[in-house]
Amino acid sequence: MISNQLATLGHPQRLSVFRTLMRRIPDQVAAGDLAEALDIKPSTLSNYLNALQRCGLVTQERSGTSLLYSVELKNVQEMLGFLLNDCCRGRPDICMPLERGKGTMTDRKFNVLFICVGNSARSIFAESLLRDIAGDRFNAYSAGTMPYSELNPFALQVLNDKGHDTSVLRSKNVTEFSGPDAPELDFVFTVCNNAANEECPAWEGQPISGHWGMTDPVRAEGTDAEKSLAFQNAYGALRRRIQAFASLPAESLDQIALQTAVDDIGRTPEDLR
């Protein structure tokens, strides 16, 4: 089984499919979304997904007329465990990069980065909310993989109406957080599916990562009132998630427990957020 899994991942495009699904945890991803994100023909993608299913790395579920895919985490963990314990004999000098994640977090303020594509609405909401809800414990930042030059006016209106200080906000490129002068990140969250699909920098220090994908209010159509409602809904959904995150006892939980809690927050259906 392990040799089949490694052989399957040895194909570059099958590996790309697997990596995309890993970045989208805890989501189940429709085949059409994967094909669009990776620019792969549906028939070719189907072959890749079938190969990943046969070796037990990916699972499939049907929802209506859609096929949804996700990583089979138990089997992935067994594969990684085999590599660490059987091949590497569990040597700490070899396995140390993965062993570091077992300690507890420190008692300093944690640095949190929220990422979306445009950095004009959802990630800006999340940054503002965390700063106001738990700014004594967290330094909140946001960035975009392809940021707009200006923040969305509907988003700014919502934040102003809710009493947030918008003078400190600006659109930023995610590369600002990967240089030598960037803050050491403890948590990195993607709040849109497109950002999760993209290749982001390799973060130093192995921060806890979470995918909290949600509907983009910028794409809302209709009257200004209808568009404003979409931004209000996005703000409310993120507020509930940020409140749940801020209530976690980050100082006393190890990274594995924190990762599990972050993933659980991301699994909440969007209409209940």
Per-residue pLDDT reduced to its tens digit, 175-201: 999 878 889 999 999 998 776 565 665
CATH number of 2-73: 1.10.10.10
For the chain, helix, strand, coil in percent to 5 are 50, 15, 35
CATH 3.40.50.2300 residue window(s) in the chain: 110-272
Structure tokens at 134: 């738990």
Q: CATH topology for 110-272?
A: Rossmann fold (3.40.50)
Q: Identify the pLDDT of residue 99.
A: 47
Q: Identify the pLDDT of residue 170.
A: 93
Inform me whether the pLDDT recorded for 1 exceeds 50. yes
CATH 1.10.10.10 residue window(s) in the chain: 2-73
Question: Of the ranges 24-38, 93-107, 219-233, which is most confident?
Answer: 219-233
CB 85 within 8 A of CB 2: no
Peptide bond into 26 cis (omega under 30): yes
Q: What angle do CA 256, 72, 17 make, to 5 degrees?
A: 105
CA-CA distance, 1 to 17, in Å (whole number)? 19
- Quick one: what percent of the chain has pLDDT higher than 70? 87
